[in-house]
Structure 1
Amino acid sequence: METRISVVIPTYRRPQLLVNCLEALASQTLDNTNFEIIVVSDGPDTATGEAVAQWHAANSGINCRYLSTPGKQGPAAARNAGSIAASAPLIAFTDDDCLPASDWLEAFCRHYRGEPHIAMTGGVQVPLSPRPTDFEWNTAQLQEAEFVTANCCCTKDALLIVGGFDEAFGMAWREDSELQFKLMIQGIPIVHVEAARVRHPVRAAPWGVSLREQKKGQYNALLYKKYPRLFRQKIQRHPVWHYYATVLLFAAMCTALVLDWTPWFQLALIGWLLCVAVFTCKRLRMTSKSASHIAEMTVTSLLIPFIAIYWQWYGAIKYRVLLF
């Protein structure tokens, strides 16, 4: 039978999560002769290749292929490799830590009317614990996003017109918005298909994970350089003035201490502590109040403004754009 839709899954050294995703795809209501699965490892990975081979041996009725990029290049490059290899006119994207609903592919196919150029998005559900951590809460914001690669679908021709994903985005950050903006500029309709649902469980994260996450901020500069108006309209309406105020007050405090300007030191110290306290309370407002989480939020709130501004300016210099 005809392959109506291809599923592309980028992955990187998470074989067990990937197998869970593949199991969800094996339960699709769409006849398995109507779709194919293309798993693309972001760089060679023996463990992932073996996991896919074992899964495919137990699910031989499903057309599943395993590819890998020559080296680690990021999920954008992996998705492009999978798109090129896809044989269907429709290409659905999800991530290796996602669990598509049983009627996910059928919902996209049911909505598709043979348009040569169209993109579709679906609903993302992020299950949260009664007292979520800051990391869980931030992940849950995917539920409100307009266009995410955890759950989207494009015609192959539409991807060809916009040039696919921009591989300059070397991490899983803003590459989905970059594709969305290109589709919008080309006038390719993006339709929301609520029935196409994906579950996105929050994976375990180490203490202080928010510090490591700041590295992704460098790609804000790249997206802003390419689409300044859309970036301000849909991503970040204003510069992160709170971060700048925190850093400047800390610098003023250190300067006043060195110069022995006691009143100015005290004033700057109060301002800095107030900024940190407001930031910490904001992060704790909807999240866990456990002692460990409060300690994590306090420590990371002290450091995040410095690290975030560093990576933002790293990106600004790297991509030669002024972004506050």
Structure 2
Amino acid sequence: MPPSSPLPDCSVIVPVYRQWDAVRPLLRALEAQSLGLGCFEVVLVDNAPAPCPPYPQADLDLRVIHCPRPGAYAARNAGLADAAAPVLAFTDADCRPGPDWLAEGLRVLNGGDPGPDLVAGAIALQPADPARPNLYEQFDLLTGMRQARYARRGYGATANLLVRRAVFEVVGPFDAGRYSGGDAEFCRRAVAAGHALHYAAGAVVAHPARDSWPALAAKARRVKGGQIVNGPYWRRALWLLRTLAPPVDHCARLLRHPRPPAAPARRLRLCGLRLGLWGVELAEVIRLSTGGRPRRG
């Protein structure tokens, strides 16, 4: 951006790890924002070991930087160091922000006296066919990305998170050593330092529902690494104890939940899927406790 140009109101930061085909529809969604295109910039962070041009183009204030250190949180830190605006908006390469995402997120961020310093926007999981989600998509719809619940607990997922730059200046950046859970850890630090976090139901970002066993298993391994390897000892011990216990409560909720089809066989298959993922989590705990390193994905 030329030195004489006015600063944007918001910088959108997106880590990209070999997902450039997914980035094109993301950029189209950003081009359709109701917030004026001159009010925000977009920083794409190429997180591959070596740069992967050619990069996509768009009718946006857009630039691509490279971050060779692996991990989405390391890439987000590189993006916020390069960004120019006083507000940083985070989303993912495979997400599709709604047209009022930035306008509504900034409205909530600037509302009140004082307003919040962090805004966690709504995340709408979307199956390929909303009328007929497959078993894996339905499981993800019921168990994944519950942003309103996260916000009540004092954090938000970086698939849809707006943060004032001043917060990073006070509490520091994301934990670049994490592959999972860095958003929750950062938000907890910020809230503990006195920065308010609000939920914005109208600032919506769509996220594809995971549609296969490999996708769900990869997420389970990545999340388990973030829980068991990082954070204070007491929290890691708590996650270990939770992992060792059979997920009876999760299965009970799946059986009682009003959204799955009424067919008992379908509900039982969802429970079987949860038990299978428990096995994946146990295997990952054993691997990590014998010297294995957390997985990126």
TM-score (norm 2): 0.75
Deviation at 1:154, TM superposition (A): 0.7
Distance 1:89 1:237, change over 3 A: same
CA distance in 1, matches of 2:233, 2:116: 22
CA distance in 2, matches of 1:280, 1:191: 30
Question: How is 1:138-287 mapped onto 2 (pairs within 5 angstroms)?
Answer: 138-139=143-144, 141-142=146-147, 144-146=149-151, 147-170=156-179, 173-202=180-209, 205-216=211-222, 217-225=224-232, 228=235, 239-243=242-246
Contact 1:100–1:197 (Cα < 8 Å) also in 2: yes
Distance 1:8 1:188, change over 3 A: same
Contact 1:207–1:296 (Cα < 8 Å) also in 2: no
3-state SS of the aligned residue for 1:126?
Answer: strand
Q: Which residue of 2 aligns with 1:4?
A: 9
User: Computing the radius of gyration over CA atoms, which structure comes out larger, 1 or 2?
Assistant: 1
Aligned residues: 271
Contact 1:10–1:41 (Cα < 8 Å) also in 2: yes
Match of 1:78 among 75, 91, 98: 75
Deviation at 1:243, TM superposition (A): 3.6
Q: Which residue of 2 aligns with 1:92?
A: 89
Q: Which residue of 2 aligns with 1:38?
A: 43
Deviation at 1:67, TM superposition (A): 1.0
Q: Which residue of 1 aligns with 2:283?
A: 310
Distance 1:46 1:293, change over 3 A: farther
Q: Whose helix proportion is higher, 1 or 2? A: 1
Contact 1:120–1:192 (Cα < 8 Å) also in 2: yes
Contact 1:164–1:179 (Cα < 8 Å) also in 2: yes
3-state SS of the aligned residue for 2:54?
Answer: helix
Distance 1:21 1:239, change over 3 A: same
Instruction: Give unpaired runs (5+ residues) of structure 1.
Output: 245-274, 320-324
TM-score (norm 1): 0.69
Q: CA RMSD in A?
A: 3.7
Deviation at 1:96, TM superposition (A): 0.9
Q: How far does the alpha carbon of each residue in 1:131-175 deviate from its partner, in whole angstroms, 9 at most, with x for none?
A: 5323454335456432110111111121122211101112xx211
Percent identity of paired positions between Structure 1 and Structure 2: 23
Q: Aligned letter for 1:177?
A: A
Q: Which residue of 2 aligns with 1:110?
A: 107
Distance 1:31 1:295, change over 3 A: closer
Please, which moves more after superposition, 212-221 or 6-15? 212-221
CA distance in 2, matches of 1:50, 1:115: 44
Deviation at 1:296, TM superposition (A): 9.5
Instruction: Give unpaired runs (5+ residues) of structure 2.
Output: 1-5, 293-297
Deviation at 1:51, TM superposition (A): 3.7
Q: How far does the alpha carbon of each residue in 1:195-227 deviate from its partner, in whole angstroms, 9 at most, with x for none?
A: 222122325x44444333332202112455267
Deviation at 1:87, TM superposition (A): 0.4
